[in-house]
């Protein structure tokens, strides 16, 4: 992407993705619902904020403005969600009321972004379904969930044509994740007593697993597929129990 391109980091968590985008020279608008994480980010990134390269917004992205209850995850603050059932098994530690913002409001304030990364614990659809042909980013990534077919249909209707499925625990495209070489490496790691690495090197730099979303779509692993091919690969992997953890959809 061009220098100074605009990225929306929706679901900032600990700032790993925002730091990657800033290091690559992009401007970032980061949205984080958890007040504690948002405040930590304002302290950690104060130089980038002062320099106009980063904006940190303490909002939950939703389909209408107002307020909403955020259920806090005791196991992992980044997994807090507006859907309590999402983290019912993960030691919920209370709730807090946070203001909401819509994707349209973000566009009105900052302009149409070049890329949107969204990972907001089950609420990704509020962002994606709000996009239209005039407000879609060039690139998009979000977490695949039970509503994948609905979201893929919407994306196709507003002009997206190329897609990938990227494993969050490997940052590899689904087919490459199942390759003989990768399966052999994972088997060797388990034999040595390791579950999975803390970091992996992709696209020329190191990414921290379970904290980062990995390389952006234009630098991510694997080749692009049509919507029909991606859904076929996804459904086949689900039927045959071939999914390893969580997956992101990259769209272009």
DSSP letters along 106-136, please? HHHHH---SEEEE--TT-HHHHHTT--TTT-
Is the pLDDT at 53 greater than 90? The verdict is yes
- Please give the residue range of the domain that contains residue 25: 6-137
In a domain, 157, yes or no: no
115 and 14 share one domain = yes
Please enumerate in sequence order all residues whose Cβ is within 8 A of that of 194, keeping only pairs 6 or more positions apart, or say none.
Answer: none
Q: Which of 23-27, 74-78, 100-104, 218-222 has the lowest mean pLDDT?
A: 74-78
122 and 30 share one domain = yes
Contact status, residue 21 vs residue 4, Cβ threshold 8 Å? no
Is the pLDDT at 34 greater than 90? The verdict is yes
- In which band, very low, low, confident or very high, does the pLDDT at 75 lie, cut at 50, 70 and 90? low
21 and 117 share one domain = yes
Determine what percent of the chain is predicted with pLDDT higher than 70: 88
Total count of domains within the chain: 2
In a domain, 80, yes or no: yes
Residue of higher predicted confidence among 95 and 135: 135
In a domain, 176, yes or no: yes
127 and 10 share one domain = yes
131 and 176 share one domain = no
233 and 113 share one domain = no
128-187 pLDDT, tens digit each:
999 999 999 999 999 999 999 999 999 999 999 999 999 998 999 998 987 665 656 566
In a domain, 147, yes or no: no
173 and 216 share one domain = yes
pLDDT value for 38: 96
In a domain, 146, yes or no: no
Is the pLDDT at 117 greater than 80? The verdict is yes
174 and 130 share one domain = no
In a domain, 117, yes or no: yes
61 and 106 share one domain = yes
Determine what percent of the chain is predicted with pLDDT higher than 90: 71
In a domain, 144, yes or no: no
208-232 pLDDT, tens digit each:
988 899 999 999 999 999 999 999 9
Is the pLDDT at 95 greater than 60? The verdict is yes
Reported as half-sphere exposure (CB side, CA atoms, 13 A), residue 225 has a value of 19
Please tell me what DSSP assigns to residue 78: G
Please enumerate in sequence order all residues whose Cβ is within 8 A of that of 61, keeping only pairs 6 or more positions apart, or say none.
Answer: 10, 31, 33, 100, 101, 102, 103, 106, 118, 120, 123, 126, 127
Q: How far is CA 101 from CA 31, 41, 195, in A?
A: 9, 19, 38
d(CA 208, CA 169) in angstroms, rounded, equals 10
| pLDDT mean across residues, the chain | 90
Say what the pTM is.
0.91
104 and 38 share one domain = yes
16 and 131 share one domain = yes
- In which band, very low, low, confident or very high, does the pLDDT at 3 lie, cut at 50, 70 and 90? confident
């Amino acid at each position: 992407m061009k220098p100074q391109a605009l990225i929306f980091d929706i679901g900032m968590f600990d700032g790993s993705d925002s730091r990657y985008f800033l290091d690559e020279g992009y401007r970032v608008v980061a949205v984080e619902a958890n007040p504690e994480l948002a405040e930590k980010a304002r302290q950690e990134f104060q130089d980038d904020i002062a320099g106009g390269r980063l904006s940190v917004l303490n909002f939950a992205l939703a389909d209408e403005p107002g307020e909403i209850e955020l259920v806090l995850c005791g196991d992992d603050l980044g997994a807090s969600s507006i859907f309590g059932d999402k983290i019912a098994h993960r030691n919920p530690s209370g709730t807090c009321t946070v203001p909401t913002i819509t994707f349209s409001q973000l566009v009105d304030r900052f302009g149409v972004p070049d890329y949107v990364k969204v990972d907001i614990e089950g609420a990704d659809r509020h962002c994606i379904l709000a996009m239209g042909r005039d407000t879609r980013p060039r690139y998009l990534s979000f977490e695949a969930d039970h509503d994948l077919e609905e979201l893929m249909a919407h994306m196709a209707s507003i002009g997206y044509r190329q897609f990938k499925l990227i494993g969050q625990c490997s940052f590899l495209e689904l087919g490459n994740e199942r390759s003989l070489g990768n399966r052999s490496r994972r088997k060797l790691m388990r034999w040595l007593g390791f579950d999975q690495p803390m970091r992996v090197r992709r696209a020329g730099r190191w990414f921290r697993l379970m904290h980062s979303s990995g390389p952006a779509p234009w630098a991510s692993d694997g080749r692009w597929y049509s919507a029909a091919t991606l859904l076929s690969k996804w459904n086949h992997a689900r039927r045959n129990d071939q999914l390893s953890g969580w997956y992101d959809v990259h769209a272009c």
